[in-house]
């Protein structure tokens, strides 16, 4: 099979997971040992449970390495399924039929039995199943899955891939699946050698595929989601992070890992909206103008526990509603939100610039709620790893530089809004976000000139997440906020 590089502008996927494609498989490195172990277990055992921390790379491993390798096994079929919203029973049956090229009817056992060969069923992001069906041991999908796993002689093996913090939810299957945890594997973060291969080898392979020759230069580490930054801070892989505040971050702290919020990085603020709720244009044109008119509708977010999840919850509360009044659909990445709204797979999305402007410019959506105009909150912060925070001199020195940069940012783009320095900021932002200058000029995010945090807002957030049952325990602000570095830096400047 020939592989063209025109579909991938660089050798790297960023934070998007690798998929079960020829190109992604050729660019996926660093997990060779894990691939062999998971393959051996899946092929030998009726049920394998693969778990790991959020953001560790389970989906990429399962799709680009395991599933792709299994497709080379003669007389077998491979099914990768992760569509847990709606009717997963019907969805999985249809996925099996499509993979095997058959038309069948009946139960999951009957459909698998009609395939005529070995079937390897990979149920990815299985923790999301529990978001849509409260009682995992109840009738419906859970019953059919358990029956298929128990069925003697059925030529099918199963793998459940899920986050470590949701592993206990599998207890709901204990009475239906004997020896439920008889074969489980934990996926750890890449070690140093694996990380090096994941960086260097895709560049080499990309050149082999005809891509532009590239080298490696050290630079800032850019992420496209909050959770991996929190994980990198917790592990000590990075010293300083700047990102949104999420339930995942708070759960890391609730679990006993120290990460310190030290300064403002961005607020939702009146006339400075970072994020918005965008509704499908056809719904807007038909008269949908308020959140109440989205009751019972599907709203896309990146992840459960994300800043967008928090936005939706707070929007609803201001309208006297609750999260149960809508269906949240986690779509993992911001580009996927745009795709889903454009294809009308969801009714609205909670997203951020420049994706908000792109949806409006394409005619796919219209803004229904601007977050900053609706409720200001501390959406993003600068954070220190515990190791970096213990080096007081370095922590204060960094903060001095950050405050100087914050003041320059405030004076240039929030106060003056014109001139050579403003144009330089436009150019830099375009360079690192790939957004057009016209989109960037529509508005920069607000942050305090001196980097001060909104008083008490982190505590309000942790209390809200705990009330939703999405963080393990209450977290006092003093457990996670340390503004002493900022105070010392301001005093010295």
Q: What's the burial of 489, exposed, middle or buried (CB within 10 Å: 0-12/13-18/19+)?
A: buried
pLDDT, one tens digit for every residue, the chain (493 residues)? 334 444 556 788 877 899 999 989 999 999 999 999 999 999 999 999 999 998 899 999 999 999 999 998 888 899 999 999 888 999 999 999 998 888 888 899 999 999 888 999 999 999 999 887 754 444 588 899 999 999 999 999 999 999 999 999 999 898 889 888 889 999 999 987 888 789 888 888 887 777 666 655 545 666 666 777 888 888 888 889 988 898 888 988 888 889 999 999 999 999 888 899 999 999 999 999 988 999 999 999 988 888 999 999 999 998 899 988 999 999 888 888 999 999 999 999 999 887 888 899 899 999 999 999 998 999 999 999 998 999 898 899 899 999 999 999 999 989 888 888 889 888 888 887 777 788 778 778 899 999 999 999 999 999 999 998 888 888 888 999 999 999 999 999 8
Structure tokens at 250: 């708070």
- 226-265+380-492 and 275-374 in the same fold: yes
CATH topology of domain 31-187: Rossmann fold (3.40.50)
> Is the previous residue joined to 354 through a cis bond, with omega within 30 degrees of 0?
yes
Secondary structure of 33-82 in HEC code, one letter for each residue: HHHHHHHHHHHHCCEEEEEECCCCCHHHHHHHHHHHHHCCCCCEEEEEEC
**275-374 is classed in which CATH architecture?**
3-Layer(aba) Sandwich (3.40)
Q: How many C-beta atoms surround the C-beta of residue 343 within 10 A?
A: 9
Domain boundaries, the chain: 31-187, 226-265+380-492, 275-374
**How is domain 226-265+380-492 classified at the CATH fold level?**
D-Maltodextrin-Binding Protein; domain 2 (3.40.190)
How many angstroms separate the CA atoms of 206 and 11, rounded? 6
What is the total residue count of the chain? 493
User: Between the CA atoms of 260, 263, 269 and 274, what dihedral angle is there, to the nearest 10 degrees?
Assistant: -70
492-to-291, 382, 403, 487 alpha-carbon distances in Å: 47, 19, 11, 9
Say how far apart CA 271 and CA 373 lie, in whole Å.
6
> Which one-letter DSSP state was computed for residue 306?
S
In this prediction, residue 208 carries a pLDDT of 78
Residue 377 CA, distance from chain mean position: 21
Give the strand pairing for 156-163 and 348-352. unpaired
Residue 256 pairs with which residues in a beta bridge? none
Kindly tell me the burial class for residue 294, based on how many C-beta atoms sit within 10 Å of its own C-beta (0-12, 13-18, 19 or more).
Answer: buried
Return the pLDDT at 53: 92
């Amino acid at each position: 099979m020939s592989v063209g590089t025109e579909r991938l502008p660089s050798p790297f996927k960023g934070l998007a997971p690798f998929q079960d494609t020829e190109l992604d498989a050729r660019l996926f490195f660093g997990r060779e040992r894990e691939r062999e172990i998971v393959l051996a277990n899946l092929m030998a055992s009726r049920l394998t449970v693969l778990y790991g921390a959020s953001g560790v790379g389970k989906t990429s491993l399962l799709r680009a390495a395991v599933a792709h390798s299994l497709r080379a096994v003669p007389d077998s079929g491979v099914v990768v399924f992760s569509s847990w919203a709606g009717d997963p029973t019907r969805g999985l049956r249809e996925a099996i039929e499509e993979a095997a090229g058959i038309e069948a009817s009946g139960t999951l056992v009957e459909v698998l039995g009609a395939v005529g060969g070995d079937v390897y069923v990979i149920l990815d992001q299985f923790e999301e199943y529990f978001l849509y069906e409260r009682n995992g041991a109840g009738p419906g999908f859970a019953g059919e899955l358990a029956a298929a796993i128990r069925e003697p002689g059925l030529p099918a093996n199963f793998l459940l891939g899920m986050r470590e913090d949701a592993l206990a939810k599998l207890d709901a299957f204990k009475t239906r699946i004997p020896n439920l945890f008889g074969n489980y594997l934990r996926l750890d973060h890449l070690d140093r050698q694996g990380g090096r291969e994941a960086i260097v080898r895709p560049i080499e392979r990309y050149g082999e595929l005809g891509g532009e020759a590239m080298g490696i230069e050290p630079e800032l580490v850019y992420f496209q989601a909050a959770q991996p930054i929190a994980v990198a801070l917790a592990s000590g892989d990075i010293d300083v992070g700047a990102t949104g505040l999420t339930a995942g971050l708070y759960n890391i702290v609730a679990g006993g890992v120290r990460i310190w919020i030290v300064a403002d990085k961005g607020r939702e603020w009146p006339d400075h909206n970072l994020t918005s709720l965008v509704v499908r244009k056809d719904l807007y044109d038909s008269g949908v103008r308020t959140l109440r008119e989205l009751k019972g509708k599907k709203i896309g977010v990146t992840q459960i526990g994300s800043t967008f999840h928090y936005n939706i919850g707070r929007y609803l509360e201001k309208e006297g509603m609750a999260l149960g009044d809508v269906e949240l659909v986690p779509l993992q990445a911001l580009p996927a939100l745009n795709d889903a709204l454009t294809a009308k797979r969801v009714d609205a999305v909670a997203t951020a610039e420049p994706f908000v402007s792109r949806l409006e410019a394409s005619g796919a959506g219209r803004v229904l709620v601007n977050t900053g105009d609706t409720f200001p909150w501390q959406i993003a912060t600068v954070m220190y790893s515990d190791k970096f925070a213990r080096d007081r001199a370095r922590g204060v020195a960094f903060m001095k530089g950050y405050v100087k940069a914050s003041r320059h940012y405030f004076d240039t783009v929030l106060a003056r809004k014109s001139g050579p320095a403003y144009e330089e900021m436009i150019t830099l932002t375009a360079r690192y976000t790939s957004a057009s200058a016209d989109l960037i000029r529509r508005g920069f995010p607000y942050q305090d000139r001196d980097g001060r945090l909104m008083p008490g807002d982190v505590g309000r957030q942790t209390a809200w997440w705990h009330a939703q049952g999405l963080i393990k325990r209450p977290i006092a602000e003093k457990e996670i906020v340390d503004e002493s570095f900022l105070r010392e830096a301001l005093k010295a400047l």
